[in-house]
Structure 1
Amino acid sequence: MTESPTNTPHAIEAETAQVRVLRRDGSTSGFDASKISVALTKAFLAVEGDAAGGSSRLHALVTDLTEQATNSLLRHAGPGTLLHIEQIQDQVELVLMRGGHHQVARDYVLYREQRSHARRAAAGPGTAPETVDSPQLSVTDPDGRSRPLDWGRVRTIVGQACSGLAEVDAAPVLEEARRNLYDGIRSAELDEALTLAARTLVERDPGYSRVSARLLLDKLRREALSFIAGEAQEADQEQIRDRYPEYFAAYVRRGVELEVLEPQLAEFDLERLGGALRADRDLTFDYLGLQTLYDRYFLHHDGTRFELPQAFFMRVAMGLALREDDRDERAIEFYQLLSSFDFMCSTPTLFNSGTTRPQLSSCFLTTVDDDLQSIFSSYRNNALLAKYSGGLGNDWTPVRGIGAHIKGTNGQSQGLVPFLKIANDTAVAVNQGGKRKGAACAYLETWHIDVEEFLDLRKNTGDDRRRTHDMNTANWVPDEFLRRVEADGSWTLFSPDETPELHDLYGAEFAERYREYEAAAERGEIRIYRQVRAVDLWRRMLTSLFETGHPWITFKDPCNLRSPQRHAGVVHSSNLCTEITLNTSSDEVAVCNLGSINLAQHVTSDGLDRERLENTTRTAVRMLDNVIDINFYTIPEAERSNMRHRPVGLGLMGFADALVLQRLAPSSQEAVEFADRSMEEISYHAIAASSELAVERGRYESFDGSLWSRGVLPIDSLRMLDEAREGAEFDYSSTLDWSSLRERVRGNGMRNSNVMAIAPTATIANICGVGQSIEPLYRNLFVKSNMSGDFTVVNPHLVADLKKAGLWDEAMVADLKFFDGVLGPIDRVPDELKTLYATAFEIEPQWLVEAAARRQKWIDQAQSLNLYLATPSGRKLDELYRLAWRKGLKTTYYLRSTSATHVEKSTLRGTDGKLNAVPAAVPDAQAPGAAACSVEDPDCEACQ
């Protein structure tokens, strides 16, 4: 093979000659790779001493590392490229870590920090900002005109961004920003330079994430105010407090004029609503949250954002209050809940509320019937539902299997897989209006003749025409199968065209009819069937889950036996994220409308703030109920179902934060009890709120005959599952007055057929700055990637505790990097903190199942439960998923393993956002536990 010209020594030399290096004093010099070689040699000698000196091994090693660093630095170099000295040092650190020279890299990190401190100390107290004062530079505005850099305003903005934040200083931000400035810098680059400067300091203190957000906010204010005014405008934080009301009224009028906002929004009392905006709540975002909103949520025109954060929250609130009697009052009430981060609507609601296309629902569940018209209608429906940000769950069980007879052509079916391939490609093509990746999940019952091919859909080997690399898959498992597994019995696979009743049966009726079909097969009355050992199929299911992350394990019987809507149909699948359990049929597409309570906002060191939680829950249920009437429906089957049953899914997030605030270790009985009690409170008040809405607005249409109408609440339906399983041991403990609530529900009715479901909250938790959903801590220091870029995430609770203990320093940062954000191996950290801040892979997964089981007794739908295994094995997987089944869980979600979620051990400096990003490690799709939805890049944002 001919060597690429760009990689030849002569090409490297030519590129090197064109590259200049910006030094800290503002001077420039030519790029000299030999200086990297010298730095690396000194680093190794400092650690290895005489053992390294003069050795041919060291020379060869340094030469190789120097070449790696140089190639990386010059990969995109061109005439006039200017590299800052810090960029070069970052790359040296990176190649050391990638090469496995962790001790050398650690000492190099500490050396750089010491030199940085020494430079600031040499400048004297308070003089660091002055060393970069009034640089003689010009700024180029978007219209091409040049103006002097107003460094005084830069210092004001950075000073305001740091105001009120402990352990945060403007000086290093200004110093870091100055390094990235040049004469003629574009104004947009100046904004990015300031934000990037603060982001590089996040690992020093998480408070700099707030600083970064506030600097981004300054850019957003200038962008939005200028667009609305039609001329250049800007405002700092002091000024925007007075300007917000005036801006808000103009923003609504302009949005209506652009046909982006619903015209009815202009009919609100805009002066009153503008006066209710809390400008200082703009300061509560961390960088990840605000950048996510900026990139994907705020309204824009031709790429120019004209929606400020508080206007965004009020726009969503107004959209949800459109049909309220006193819509101004309700809009303010809803706004207060959203802007305080006490509650957050799901992503589709945030995207579209108050707009001219208010598709506000999160999830859609469909059943695909066994004929071509239904199959191809399902593709069309998936496309229309996904276009406006809906996550999809498709029940494919009715479609006949491979080899089944086709009466119309007298031929044989090719089975499910070719149709699933088209569904996969449809989800890719319709990427939720360009805002998020399209996402769908296919569900199949375990008795389907094609189930073994279904298990292989996500593999990277085999015939690619029979693979669906982009679509999620889930097993819909009946209890009868797991009973056969536990008894080491046989299991028979059928084609649904010959066993049509199995699809709609569950519990004892399913088991009885299934055995009848087995007997018929033995008599030769069924043509397409295959008998396997149940344990062997179970092992294949777990092996596939381990290797590809799919199909997920979900349980048919508890979803149906405990469904409040048993009288109105059958739950045939869950949704994209396994928390929704609603009936589907050929003429009804199930719809769910989601939002989540931020549990971290409702606890103190003494426990739950019950009054605040009650108020939040009641208002949240009202907001979710409003979604149903305001919603823009893309297909009639969805509207018919949603208006008839009116399901909502109130969930929670920030569970891990709530544990830390109460000093509860995640692997403890106290944490399990808190999961129980907190969900009981939410369940009680959510049901009560829906019943009160029934008095005010009327019961949902299909209420009569439901479990609700019989006074059977979720805690009561658990006994139905208990009876079906003959002696299962469930926890029935409670603390609230459920008897009176049963009577109120029976007498007053319910406004909503379903009221609770715990979704993943991948994105809205980022917006609120808390841990997602019911997840344990992932890492205490890591790089998170999503569609907005790469972000350094540091656990602020841990940093505060380490500061109190006098342990937060550069060495601790280096140790956290080295050990992937895990405290366990760091000797000087007290055991109490190691237990309190144990990460997901340090916690025995049984604790997660126990906590989930306690929540599940209160929930009428399900919960997205990820399970974590640091060292998976067949035995551990078998025990874990059987435990989940025995404990009465309705569904499980992703299986995570460390091999698929490892974060690269490199400096985090420079990894945030889109500028000069160093990629975080990407999960290997062929590694154990790998999945399309990794912890760092969760596709489950399609749900929330």
Structure 2
Amino acid sequence: QSSTRCGAESRTEGMILEPSPELLVLCIAGRVIDSCAVSGEAGSHQAPCALCSYEKQGRVRRVVKAQQLWYAIIESQTETGTPYMLYKDSCNRKSNQQNLGTIKCSNLCTEIVEYTSKDEVGGDCSVLNGSLCFNPLQAARSNRRHRPIGIGVQGLADAFILMRFPFESPEAQLLNQQIFETIYYGALEASCELAEQEGPYETYEGSPVSKGILQYDMWDVTPSDLWDWKALKEKIAKYGVRNSLLLSPMPTASTAQILGNNESIEPYTSNIYTRRVLSGEFQVVNPHLLKDLTERGLWNEEMKNQIIAHNGSIQNIPEIPADLKQLYKTVWEISQKTVLKMAADRGAFIDQSQSLNIHIAEPNYGKLTSMHFYGWKQGLKTGMYYLRTKPAAKPIQFTLNKEKLREREKASEEEKERNKAAMVCSLENREECMMCGS
């Protein structure tokens, strides 16, 4: 069951996705994704599901080919950036609320993954245990019984830059995992201390944590030796925890702007952008890049014009050193395979889910299919929040000094060759796929 937003309608033969004003999430079972695979190697997620029982009961009203449905989903995402993607099996198998029932949905931003029923609704929660929302009544009941909270982050890309770690570097990937391991450990420790004082949450018994199973155990991941997990597990076995869920990295679009950080777990989308306020529009440069260029004597009006001309990228500006080009890659220049892998690395320490945007400049069926299958095989709960793409036409660059630019800029043969070499990604051509083979 699916529909698209903003009045988009799928033209796939035999499939009509009705227009809808809502932003839609697809909560997909592994069996469905298996059926969409081009080859038989797609996965081993053949666990029994409600779909199987519906088939046996004869409750099927219409048969649709899985690949046909998949094409309609990809077509909608290419045109509108949605529907969002949740992987139902991972959401349930890796949830500390699995003892309550089946999780069927998430919040809008796809990082809150909680059990809901007709009698109770998973509520939005503050990171403070004592500040749980108590409206409406169903949410109040859910919060009192399960006491879920959602701890997130912002400025992960800023942390990498300050540490001088390029986003795709092994050092950044290790730090990414260590940050979330540390947050998860600290949250569990604090929740256990609260349970020692006030007792565990009402539905604690029967949960994975009550059996000594933490989030990383459900991912079959061994934590580092940064923290004494054995001692913490022993303490939890004695006192329990006060909260059923703890971590859920959210988008942080507004708060990150207020505090001057990059959003959430995202890489920088551009090194220069326009900020609109009541007093007008201003060109804003990535503050870290501005500092580095200034210290090296490279920042001037001419450099600003070049960055604007390259739409916020510095990769083809000859004056900028190679180390800065690596450090200040935008999300469009970072392999989305790396983005997904880093999401899986920290996912082993995130007991709800994470709001994860995917950026593909020119999406097509092959690229999106490869990306979705890779994320699913990595065990992600949220496969995609929004699909971000680049517009077909570039905006007019009003502030660009074209005279100065013409004096310096040469035709970028490197970029032309890269565009010529771009290949259509497919499940049958993974090694040559720019998205998954890089």
Normalising by the smaller structure, the TM-score range is 0.7 to 0.9
Match of 2:110 in 1: 578
Contact 1:783 1:903 in 2 (8 A): no
Contact 2:3 2:20 in 1 (8 A): no
Structure 1 residues 579, 546: closer, same or farther in 2, change over 3 A?
Answer: same
- For normalisation by structure 2, the TM-score amounts to 0.83
CA separation in 2, counterparts of 1:678 and 1:563?
A: 21
Report the alpha carbon displacement of residue 733 of structure 1 after superposing the two structures with TM.
4.5
Match of 1:716 in 2: 217
Structure 1 residues 641, 900: closer, same or farther in 2, change over 3 A?
Answer: farther
CA separation in 1, counterparts of 2:323 and 2:240?
A: 48
Q: The residue matched to 2:153 in structure 1 has which SS?
A: strand
Report the alpha carbon displacement of residue 515 of structure 1 after superposing the two structures with TM.
3.1
For 2:202, which of 701, 704, 714 is the aligned residue? 701
Match of 1:626 in 2: 130
Match of 2:67 in 1: 535
For 1:734-753, list aligned pairs within 5 A: 734-735=224-225, 736-753=227-244
Match of 2:79 in 1: 547
Match of 2:295 in 1: 804
Structure 1 residues 517, 789: closer, same or farther in 2, change over 3 A?
Answer: farther
CA separation in 2, counterparts of 1:466 and 1:543?
A: 13
In the alignment, structure 1 residue 660 sits paired with structure 2 residue 152:
no
Q: The residue matched to 2:120 in structure 1 has which SS?
A: coil
Amino acid at match of 2:397: K
RMSD of aligned Cα (Å) = 2.5
Report the alpha carbon displacement of residue 797 of structure 1 after superposing the two structures with TM.
0.7
Q: The residue matched to 1:882 in structure 2 has which SS?
A: helix
Report the alpha carbon displacement of residue 699 of structure 1 after superposing the two structures with TM.
1.4
For 1:835, which of 326, 329, 349 is the aligned residue? 326
Q: The residue matched to 1:532 in structure 2 has which SS?
A: coil
Q: The residue matched to 1:847 in structure 2 has which SS?
A: helix
In the alignment, structure 1 residue 455 sits paired with structure 2 residue 3:
yes
CA separation in 1, counterparts of 2:67 and 2:100?
A: 34
For 1:451-850, list aligned pairs within 5 A: 451=1, 454-460=2-8, 467-469=19-21, 471-486=22-37, 508-510=47-49, 513-521=50-58, 526=59, 528-595=60-127, 624-628=128-132, 631=133, 633-719=134-220, 731-735=221-225, 736-784=227-275, 792-850=283-341
Contact 2:4 2:24 in 1 (8 A): no
- For normalisation by structure 1, the TM-score amounts to 0.40
Contact 2:270 2:330 in 1 (8 A): yes
Structure 1 residues 570, 789: closer, same or farther in 2, change over 3 A?
Answer: farther
Structure 1 residues 679, 637: closer, same or farther in 2, change over 3 A?
Answer: same
Structure 1 residues 739, 790: closer, same or farther in 2, change over 3 A?
Answer: farther
Structure 1 residues 32-67: Cα deviation after superposition (integer angstroms, max 9, x where no partner)? xxxxxxxxxxxxxxxxxxxxxxxxxxxxxxxxxxxx
Structure 1 residues 855, 840: closer, same or farther in 2, change over 3 A?
Answer: same
Q: The residue matched to 2:105 in structure 1 has which SS?
A: coil
Structure 1 residues 790, 864: closer, same or farther in 2, change over 3 A?
Answer: farther
Percent of aligned pairs with the same residue? 37
For 1:894, which of 381, 386, 400 is the aligned residue? 386
Q: The residue matched to 2:64 in structure 1 has which SS?
A: strand
Report the alpha carbon displacement of residue 824 of structure 1 after superposing the two structures with TM.
1.1
CA separation in 2, counterparts of 1:478 and 1:900?
A: 34
CA separation in 1, counterparts of 2:279 and 2:400?
A: 17
Match of 1:65 in 2: none
Structure 1 residues 316-352: Cα deviation after superposition (integer angstroms, max 9, x where no partner)? xxxxxxxxxxxxxxxxxxxxxxxxxxxxxxxxxxxxx
Query: Structure 1 unaligned runs (5+)?
Result: 1-450, 490-505, 596-623, 720-730, 910-944
Amino acid at match of 1:906: F
Contact 1:485 1:535 in 2 (8 A): yes
Structure 1 residues 791, 652: closer, same or farther in 2, change over 3 A?
Answer: farther
Amino acid at match of 2:149: V
The structure showing larger relative contact order (alpha-carbon pairs under 8 Å, at least 6 residues apart) is 2
For 1:919-938, list aligned pairs within 5 A: none
CA separation in 2, counterparts of 1:792 and 1:594?
A: 34
CA separation in 2, counterparts of 1:538 and 1:570?
A: 24
**Which structure shows the higher helix fraction?**
1
Report the alpha carbon displacement of residue 732 of structure 1 after superposing the two structures with TM.
3.4
Which is greater in Rg? 1
Amino acid at match of 2:311: D
In the alignment, structure 1 residue 852 sits paired with structure 2 residue 352:
no
Structure 1 residues 789, 572: closer, same or farther in 2, change over 3 A?
Answer: farther
Structure 1 residues 784, 844: closer, same or farther in 2, change over 3 A?
Answer: farther
CA separation in 2, counterparts of 1:901 and 1:643?
A: 51
CA separation in 2, counterparts of 1:787 and 1:826?
A: 33
Match of 2:368 in 1: 877
Match of 1:294 in 2: none
CA separation in 2, counterparts of 1:787 and 1:672?
A: 39
Q: The residue matched to 2:152 in structure 1 has which SS?
A: strand
Contact 2:9 2:18 in 1 (8 A): no
Report the alpha carbon displacement of residue 468 of structure 1 after superposing the two structures with TM.
2.7
Amino acid at match of 2:129: D
Contact 2:150 2:249 in 1 (8 A): yes
Structure 1 residues 858, 904: closer, same or farther in 2, change over 3 A?
Answer: farther
Q: The residue matched to 1:753 in structure 2 has which SS?
A: coil
CA separation in 1, counterparts of 2:240 and 2:278?
A: 43
Report the alpha carbon displacement of residue 739 of structure 1 after superposing the two structures with TM.
1.4
For 1:206-217, list aligned pairs within 5 A: none
CA separation in 2, counterparts of 1:488 and 1:532?
A: 19
Amino acid at match of 1:479: G
Contact 2:8 2:76 in 1 (8 A): no
Structure 1 residues 577, 789: closer, same or farther in 2, change over 3 A?
Answer: farther
Q: The residue matched to 1:652 in structure 2 has which SS?
A: coil
Query: Structure 2 unaligned runs (5+)?
Result: 11-16, 402-438
Structure 1 residues 724-768: Cα deviation after superposition (integer angstroms, max 9, x where no partner)? xxxxxxx53422221111111121111111011000001111111
Structure 1 residues 857-884: Cα deviation after superposition (integer angstroms, max 9, x where no partner)? 0111000011111222221111111111
CA separation in 2, counterparts of 1:550 and 1:903?
A: 23
Structure 1 residues 114-163: Cα deviation after superposition (integer angstroms, max 9, x where no partner)? xxxxxxxxxxxxxxxxxxxxxxxxxxxxxxxxxxxxxxxxxxxxxxxxxx
Amino acid at match of 2:102: V
Structure 1 residues 800-846: Cα deviation after superposition (integer angstroms, max 9, x where no partner)? 11112211000011111111111012111111111100001111111
Match of 2:13 in 1: none
CA separation in 1, counterparts of 2:91 and 2:310?
A: 40
Structure 1 residues 212-231: Cα deviation after superposition (integer angstroms, max 9, x where no partner)? xxxxxxxxxxxxxxxxxxxx
Report the alpha carbon displacement of residue 474 of structure 1 after superposing the two structures with TM.
1.0
Amino acid at match of 1:692: E
Q: How many aligned residue pairs are there?
A: 389
For 1:150-549, list aligned pairs within 5 A: 451=1, 454-460=2-8, 467-469=19-21, 471-486=22-37, 508-510=47-49, 513-521=50-58, 526=59, 528-549=60-81
Structure 1 residues 897-927: Cα deviation after superposition (integer angstroms, max 9, x where no partner)? 1127965522299xxxxxxxxxxxxxxxxxx
Match of 2:410 in 1: none
Superposed structure 1 runs of 4+ greater than 6 Å apart: 786-789
Match of 2:422 in 1: none
Match of 2:432 in 1: none
Q: The residue matched to 1:568 in structure 2 has which SS?
A: coil
Structure 1 residues 657, 549: closer, same or farther in 2, change over 3 A?
Answer: same
Q: The residue matched to 2:230 in structure 1 has which SS?
A: helix
